[in-house]
Amino acid sequence: MNPVSTNTELTTLLSALASIGGPLQWALLASAVFLGLVSFMPSLKKIRERALCVVVGLLATGEVALIWFHWRLYAITAVVSPVTGETTGHVAVSMWVESEKLFVWALILGLMALFAKRHRSELLPGVCFSLALITIGAVLWGQPFTEPLPQFLGQYRGYLAASGSGDINAAMGAYQGMESSRAYYYNTWYMWVHPPLLFISYGAFVMSFVSTIFMWIRRHSSYEETAYRWARLGYLPLTFGMLLGFPWAILAWQGESWWWSGKVNMSIMMWLLYTAYLHGRLYLRRKGMWRVVAILAMLSFLVLVLTYMTTYIVPGAHSYA
């Protein structure tokens, strides 16, 4: 591997992604803003449905572009031992890290909104508005096409620079860092399963939250049933995804105090609250219990949002994810 030519290939790939994704980002932003504006206008029901289709279509197109980008990235990002000169492997960066997380969340929520049937007409305004917000966040904050994977590319470019510097100690240090990231983070099976499971649950919990709001306002149990159906769909991948994190964390974060890191704290809290909600609703017919259940459901969702934000604002083992 020649660090200079690899760097040039990387730059070419990033330019290609920006040229495809730049206009797509603007189109997504415009359609998401439009979707947000028409969300709560009853007279524009048909237009809202079409705007939803457009946003989901653009998100799906963007995801295809990102899959292509990651495929090409894998081919380029070889890791070579500075001692033997042999390639030890490539970096397989999954499509739901760093700048791409909100994008995946938006796509999953959009698909759920498209296929939702129960109380569809009532839920859609709230869900479309949430989708618009997440999509706008994905475009403005994440910038997955114009500023992709800043942490990974920073690390890999640092590794390339160290490899080409002629300083064997610097090259060895950068190589070991890259190999460690590859073995315990990017290339682990876990990174290909854990985040998408959580994003499926996040999408379902948005649907559940909107339904709970309706239950609270209209005081009708059928909305509670809808909220529960979405919550159980979200709880299953949430539980399985979080459980999967345990053996991986023991191996990858050996010796680190990860139990009380911000993201782990908040994730456990979120799971505990959703568990409490699902247990609480077993007693839904007790007097006043529906209020407790509704408050638990809304609180759980609030914590979900905070859990997502924690990655960015509280340092800890998940900060780089």
Partner 1 sequence: MPRGEVGPVTRTNDTAAHRRPWDFGLTIATVVLLGGLGAQSFIGTLYSWWATRQIPLWTQNGYYGFVDTMNAIAAPQVLALVVVMGLCVPKRLFSRTALVAVSAGMVIAGVVVWAFTGSTAQGLTVYLTLAALIQVAVVVMTMAGARGPSYLTQGRMTKIGSGLLHLGFVIFAIVVVALQRSPFMEPVFWTSAVLTTVGTIMAFYADKFAVRRVRPVTPED
Residues binding partner 1 (CB under 8 A): 215, 218-225, 228, 232, 235-236, 239-240, 243-244, 246-247, 250, 257, 259-260, 262, 265-266, 268-269, 272-273, 275-276, 279-286, 289-290, 303, 306, 310, 313-316
Shortest distance (Å) from residue 240 CB to partner 1: 5
Q: Using the minimum distance from each CB to partner 1, give the nearer residue, 11 or 221.
A: 221
DSSP string, 7-62: HHHHHHHHHHHHHHHHHHHHHHHHHHHHHHHHTT-GGGHHHHHHHHHHHHHHHHHH
Q: How far apart are CA 103 and CA 152, in angstroms?
A: 17
Q: Using the minimum distance from each CB to partner 1, give the nearer residue, 169 or 221.
A: 221
Shortest distance (Å) from residue 276 CB to partner 1: 5
Q: Using the minimum distance from each CB to partner 1, give the nearer residue, 135 or 311.
A: 311
Over the range 102-130, which residues count as b (16 or more CB within 10 Å of their CB) and which as e? bbbbbbbbbebbeebeebeebbbbbbbbb
Q: Report DSSP state, residue 94.
A: -
Shortest distance (Å) from residue 292 CB to partner 1: 9
Q: Using the minimum distance from each CB to partner 1, give the nearer residue, 45 or 279.
A: 279
Shortest distance (Å) from residue 243 CB to partner 1: 5
Q: How far apart are CA 164 and CA 314, in angstroms?
A: 35
Give the position of tokens 């999953």.
108
Q: How far apart are CA 256 and CA 258, in angstroms?
A: 6
Q: Are 234 and 202 in contact (CB under 8 A)?
A: yes
Could you tell me which of 116, 287, 119, 282 has the C-alpha nearest to residue 212? 119
Q: Using the minimum distance from each CB to partner 1, give the nearer residue, 69 or 290.
A: 290
Shortest distance (Å) from residue 137 CB to partner 1: 20
Q: Using the minimum distance from each CB to partner 1, give the nearer residue, 25 or 261.
A: 261
Shortest distance (Å) from residue 191 CB to partner 1: 17
Q: Which two tokens stand for residue 252?
A: 């990858």
